[in-house]
Amino acid sequence: MKRRAPITTLFLDVGGVLLTNGWDHHARRRAAKHFKLDWDEMEERHSLNFVIYETDKLTLQEYLGWVVFYQPRPFTRAEFWRFMCAQSKPFVEMIQLVRRLKTKYGLKIIVLSNEARELNDYRVHKFKLDEFVDAFVSSCLVRGAS
C-alpha cells in the first residue's frame, strides 16, 4: 500500500465555517427590516456594487453611499455599520476545533474570504482569528491579473 503524505495545511472559509456569513443576503434582509428600507431596491443597488466593494475598489463609505445613503436617512452610517458588524457571530466549537488541530498536528491554517476590507478587518480582530490563522486570502486584498 502506498504511504500518503501527511496533511500539513487546512484551507477554511471564514463565513459559514469559523463565523457566520458576514454581509450576505440574510444579513442585508435583516438590515432592510431593522432600518425600514425597501428590500428590493437595496438588494438591486447592492448587486450593482458588491463585486467592486468586496474587491476593495469601493470603500465602505462609498458602498453605503450607493446602497443605503443615496437619500437622507433617519439613522447614521455609524449606526448602520454597527448593525452590519453585529451580524457576525463566531462558531465557537469550530474555532476551538481548528485551534486544537493546529496545536496537535502542527498544521498551517489558511483562511479564505470574499469580504470587503472593513468587514474582513473587523471580523479578524473581533474574533481574534489572527491568533491562530497563518495566512488570510481575502478578495479585498488579492488582485488578479488585469
pLDDT in tens, 62-86: 999 999 999 999 999 999 999 999 9
CATH class label, 25-86: mainly alpha
Span(s) in the chain for CATH 3.40.50.1000: 9-20+90-138
Higher pLDDT, 55 or 146: 55
β partners of residue 19: 15, 90
- For residue 72, the one-letter residue type is P
pLDDT in the model for residue 144: 58
CATH class label, 9-20+90-138: alpha beta
Residues 6+ apart with CB under 8 A from 33: 39
Query: What does pTM read for this prediction?
Result: 0.89
Whats the size of the chain, residue-wise? 146
pLDDT in the model for residue 1: 76
Q: What's the rounded Cα separation, in Å, for the pair 79 and 77?
A: 5
Buried (b) or exposed (e) across 49-84, using 16+ Cβ within 10 A? bbeebbbbebebeebbeebbeeeeeeeeeeebbeeb
Q: Are 107 and 101 in contact (CB under 8 A)?
A: yes
Residue 143, pLDDT > 70, answer no
Span(s) in the chain for CATH 1.10.150.240: 25-86
Q: Are 27 and 84 in contact (CB under 8 A)?
A: yes
